[in-house]
Structure 1
């Protein structure tokens, strides 16, 4: 790598991603002198608007225009991973050079997915209240080598869509197409009062468990997915109408 940095080739592009440059000062200096350095400050995990802005800024950095559905699609595929977001935005832009405004359609045509098909298969089974289907999809995803946190990201993204639609958000405000909005709206009715808020809280708990628990990731995921996909009556504070 250092040899390449000393004499870069136009026939090969090297992309370096680092959380910090404290221990790689020489490499960072050489990379900056021969190429472009982009500093990305990741928003907090809960900051949806911050992550949307980050995706939008990545499109603008490449002098491209993207609508809300494209931003939502990139987030669905890349999760909260700045490097993956940058890579996928670049891939979409390169594949659609003549498109004036990039939409979810172009994103879906290009991106194979970072926890995409399997992540949303799990999320859809949860939304349809089918624990056995969700568990089968989860095991298939893990066997295929999907990253646990990427799967949680896909499930969380779908959960937030359900919450937005239940609160009355239209397609534009929810960041989805009219057809997808109708589908999500139909799924919302399967959840009891306060249950979506409970699911969102359970996903936040799962995220913390995956980052700090001594239990295996597959065990943590299986328990959480079964709980999320199983219909339940929830009390306060998730359901303000609950008496207990």
Structure 2
């Protein structure tokens, strides 16, 4: 069952709340006007395809047309949305609204006042400019009976984890937390590739997805990821950690995100140390995921307050050094990995 769309919260900067329903890009649905906003193309493509599939499932005679708002011929929107001889449903997908022509803007605003029966108009606006703002404001005010599907940029690690986890949840496919972490780490710089990797695993693997399966499919990328260096060092596997680090550096990895990945794991360990709260309660209090709490607790095996404090201090020093405080950032991160993996001061 399609979940009920929610109303948008008040926008920042003093703008009033949107009057139209906000719909997730994972569960898109049609409306006379569908505004697909935001810069994340992977999510936008899914949303637009979802609207098409929804309409086609209702009536396979659906007529699908495409328009460009920046190269628009006057009268096209009305011509494509007008009822046909046999009354087939129509879907008109409009791209480039953020750079729309004056002719399109004028006709789109007029269309909002009298949307055609049986027609769904999808408007794609990336948010890269304020062009078309008058149209967006009119849609968000409720004119035309529209909905909005927001596709904000996926930039933070937590957003990428949520994105990938959602891919598997939507397919009713289980993936082990450590496998999810490895997969996201392997494709941390490209959401399109991460989405494709998720879909490949969903299509190819009949059962649950384990870390071994991810390594078999994407081992070359996983081995060079920052999280692999962090995981092996924190686990005390000194030799493996140095091999992973040198492989990562030889593959062009930047020492800054490598140190950041290690520091992030150490901070998570420090946050969950010395508490007996349940994973769910602690996750809610700290703003973490349950599996992140569980993983941090497992990472604490073999650590104590003294060694963890020493590692955090070493990470802070390495962070400053790889950002310019030292002339040799590679030595700085090698020293950090040594301190963490051996649980001892450097050179001890």
Taking structure 2 as the reference length, the TM-score comes to: 0.39
Select the residue among 180, 189, 198 that pairs with 1:92. Answer: 198
Shift, 1:208, TM fit: 4.5
Select the residue among 184, 188, 195 that pairs with 2:307. Answer: 195
CA distance in 2, matches of 1:232, 1:139: 21
CA distance in 2, matches of 1:207, 1:231: 18
1:139 aligns with 2:139: no
Whether the 8 Å contact between 2:230 and 2:261 is mirrored in structure 1 is: yes
Select the residue among 204, 223, 241 that pairs with 2:335. Answer: 223
After superposition, where does 1:71-110 map in structure 2 within 5 Å?
73-79=179-185, 83-97=189-203, 103-104=209-210, 107-108=214-215, 110=217
CA distance in 2, matches of 1:163, 1:83: 27
After superposition, where does 1:29-68 map in structure 2 within 5 Å?
33=96, 37=126, 39-40=152-153, 42-43=155-156, 51-57=157-163, 60=166, 64-65=170-171
Equivalent residue of 1:112, what SS?
Answer: helix
Whether the 8 Å contact between 2:223 and 2:248 is mirrored in structure 1 is: no
Equivalent residue of 2:305, what SS?
Answer: coil
Question: Greater relative contact order: 1 or 2 (C-alpha under 8 angstroms, separation 6 or more)?
Answer: 1
Shift, 1:91, TM fit: 1.6
Equivalent residue of 1:87, what SS?
Answer: helix
Q: Which structure shows the bigger proportion of residues in strand conformation?
A: 2
Shift, 1:200, TM fit: 3.8
Task: Work out which of the two has the higher radius of gyration on C-alpha atoms and give 1 or 2.
Answer: 2
**Could you say if the C-alpha distance between residues 212 and 194 of structure 1 is closer, same or farther in structure 2, counting changes exceeding 3 Å?**
same
Give the RMSD, CA atoms, in angstroms: 5.1
**Could you say if the C-alpha distance between residues 120 and 33 of structure 1 is closer, same or farther in structure 2, counting changes exceeding 3 Å?**
closer
Shift, 1:220, TM fit: 1.8
Whether the 8 Å contact between 2:164 and 2:198 is mirrored in structure 1 is: no
Whether the 8 Å contact between 1:122 and 1:138 is mirrored in structure 2 is: yes
Equivalent residue of 1:191, what SS?
Answer: coil
1:209 aligns with 2:326: no
**Could you say if the C-alpha distance between residues 212 and 176 of structure 1 is closer, same or farther in structure 2, counting changes exceeding 3 Å?**
same
CA distance in 1, matches of 2:268, 2:316: 15
Q: Which structure shows the bigger proportion of residues in helix conformation?
A: 1
Aligned to 1:173: 290
